[in-house]
Chain A
Amino acid sequence: MNQPLLSVEDLHVRFRTPLGDVHAIRGISFSIERGQIMGLVGETGCGKSMTGRSILRLVPQPGEITRGRILFEGRDLMPLSEDEMHKIRGERIAMIYQDPAAALNPVFSIGQQIFMVMEQHQANSDVDTRQRVIQLLEDVGLPEPMTLYNAYPHELSGGMQQRAMIAMALSSDPSLLIADEPTTALDVTIQAQILDLLITLQRSRGISILLITHNLGIVAETCQRVVVLYAGRIAEQGDVGDIFHRPHHPYTKGLLAALPNPGSRGNALNVIPGRVPSGLDLPPGCTFAPRCEYVMDHCSQHQPGLFTVSPSHEAACFLHEEVGGKKP
C-alpha cells in the first residue's frame, strides 16, 4: 500500500513557563492518506491547534517540539533547516485559520496578498501570476474576481474573506491543507458553504485536509477519518463511522451524548462532569480518569496506550485492553 501523505509519530510539545513545564502534546501519532479529509477534534486546550502548528514546525515560544517525527511525502520535517521549512510552508503544506478577518493583512489588497505568496514560491511573470490569482479567486467561488483583486480585506464579508484565505492557501498547489477551525468565526449558512468548498477542492485537486475543529457535526459531514484528542493525547481514532456509530472511549461517548438532539427537546443537555486537567498538573494515570464514569482502580495509576478495536479503529482505554476489540 502507498505510504501516507503525512504521518506524525510520537509527537511531544512542551511549553516552559515560570509555573513549570506544560506538556501540551504528549505522544500523538496519526497519519493522513492522500486525498483524505481527517478531522482532529477535542475541547479547547486539548492540543489540536498546536498539533496543526507542529506539523509546520511553528510552535510559538516558549514552546518546543521535544520528541517525535513528522514524515511528510516520505521526508522527516524535523531535521530540516528553517530555509528548507520555508519551502514546505505555504508551498507543500498550507494553512488556513479560524478568523479570516484577523488573518488577512489589513494593509494589502486581496490580490496583492495572494500575489506575494505566489511570487515567493514560483518564478512566473507578473502578468501570468496576476492571471493565476484571478483564476484562483474564481475557483474558490468569489464573484467578480477582477474587482476583488484590488479590494482590501475589510471590504469583504466573513465568508468572502475565508474564501480569499483558501484561495491564498491553494495558490501554490499544496498537497496538504491544515484548516484550523475554518468555520468557527462564520455564521451557519456560510459555514456550510465553506465546508462544501473544502470538499469540492479535495475532490477536484486531490489534496488532503487536516480539519481541526471542536464541532463534531462538521466532522461527521466532511471527514473520512477522525482523531479525538483529550489533554494532549489521542483518546480515540478511527474512520468516521467507527467514531460516530461505535465509539469505544468513554470520552468520545460523552462527547457524542452531549450533542443536542432534536428528539430530546426540553431536556437538559448531557454534559461530561468535571473539567479538563491543567497541563501543569496532570494526573499520573489516564487523564480522563477523574471524569470517567467507567473508571477502574488501575486507571488512576497507569496511562493507557492505544488498543486496537478494529483494523481502522483504536481507543486509549483500559476497558478495551482485554476485550481486544471484540466487545464494545
Chain B
Amino acid sequence: MQKFIARRMVVTVFTILLVSLIVFVMVRVSGDPRTLLLDDYASIEDYDELTANLGLDKPLFTQYAIFLRHALVLDFGDSVVDEQPVTATILQRLPATLQLGLAAFIFSLVIGIPLGILSSVKRDSVWDHVGKVVALLGQSLPPFWLGIMLMFFFAVTLDWVPPSGRFEWNSFILPAITLGWFTTAANMRLVRSSMLTALDSEYIKLARAKGVSESVIVWKHALKNAIIPPLTFMGVTLGTLVTGSIVAEAVFAWPGIGLLAFDALRQSDYAMLQGIIIFFTLMYVGTSLAVDILYAYLDPRIRFA
C-alpha cells in the first residue's frame, strides 16, 4: 500500500512539472507580453527596462527555472489588469468555486448513485425510465442553455431562488444543478451498468444461495464491487467540477475562479490565466491522487498489485 502511494506521488509530481512546462511554453508562444504591458508611447529604453525586469533577456531555460522557483511558492506575478498579486486574487476567489464545485458534486452523487442503483435493481420499471430521461437530458443539454433555462423558470418566472450571485444557501441551487447535471447523468449511467454487471455475477448467485437478504446483496455484496469503476470517474469529475465551473459561473455571475478566468480571458490577463491554469492543475491532480488512494483501499486487487 505504501509503495503504491509513493509510486503514485512520484507520477503526480511529474504530471505537475509537465503541465508547468506546457503552460510556460504556451505563454511564450502566445505573444509578446511587453506589447501589452507598455502603452503606445513607450520608448526603446522603457522597452529594454521591462525586458530586464521581466527577465526576458535571460536564456529560456533560466527563465523556466525562475518561473518554477516562483511557482513553487505559488507566486505567479501580478495581474496585468489590476496589478494585484495573482495568487492573492485566486485564493480570495477560491472558496466560492470550491463551495459551488462541492455542491454540484454532492448533487451529482445524491441524485446519480441512488438513481443508478434503483434503475439497475428495478430494471425496466418507472425508476429505470426516469433514470434514462435524466441521463439523456444530462448528457445532451448544453450547460449554458440549461443554466439560462433554469434561471428563467425558477428565478424569473417562479421567483423561488435568486437569479444570480452568491448569497444565501438557495443561491447555490441553480448553479450547482447546471454544473452538476452532466456528472449526475454520467454517474447514474455508470452506477447502473456497473451494478447490472455485479448483480449478474457468480458471487451474487452464491450470496443468494447462501440466503443473504436482497437488501444486503444490493448494498453490501454488489455495491462494494460496483462502485469501484464509477469511483474513478467521480474522482475525476470532482476535479472537473471545480475546474470546469467557467460556464456555470459566467451564467450565474458566481464570483469564483471560473468567472475570474472568463474575465481574464476577455482582458488578455495572461499572468492571471497562467496562475489559474496551474491552480486548476494542482486541484485536478490532487483529487486524482486522492481517488487512486481511495480506490486502492476499496479494491484489494489493486492494493496488493
Contact = CB atoms under 8 A, between A and B. Distances in A.
Interface stretch (B97-105, B127-135, B207-215): B207-215
B300 A107 contact: yes
A102 B300 contact: no
Interface in B186-206: 201-203, 205-206
Contact of A102 (B202, B213, B214): B202
A89 B208 contact: yes
**For chain A, which range describes its interface: under 10, 10 to 19, 20 to 34, or 35 or more residues?**
20 to 34
Interface stretch (A90-98, A129-137, A227-235, A251-259): A90-98
Given A99-B202, A152-B301, A152-B304, A87 B211 contact: yes
B298 A89 contact: no
A117 interface: yes
B225 interface: yes
A121 B211 contact: yes
B300 A94 contact: no
B301 A154 contact: yes
A56 interface: yes
B4 to A, nearest CB: 15
Contacts of B209: 56, 58, 89-90, 94-95, 178
A299 to B, nearest CB: 37
Interface residues of B, number: 23
Interface in A164-182: 165, 168, 178
Contacts of B57: none
Contact of B221 (A58, A85, A105): A105
A89 B205 CA distance: 11
Contacts of A95: 206, 209-210
B304 A155 contact: yes
B122 interface: no
B299 interface: yes
A37 to B, nearest CB: 19
A300 interface: no
A106 to B, nearest CB: 6
A103 interface: yes
B58 interface: no
B224 interface: yes
Interface of B: 201-203, 205-214, 216, 221, 224-225, 228, 298-301, 304
Given A97-B202, A154-B300, 5 more contacts: A95-B209, A103-B202, A106-B301, A121-B211, A152-B300
Top 3 closest pairs, chain A to chain B, by CB: A90-B210, A89-B211, A90-B211
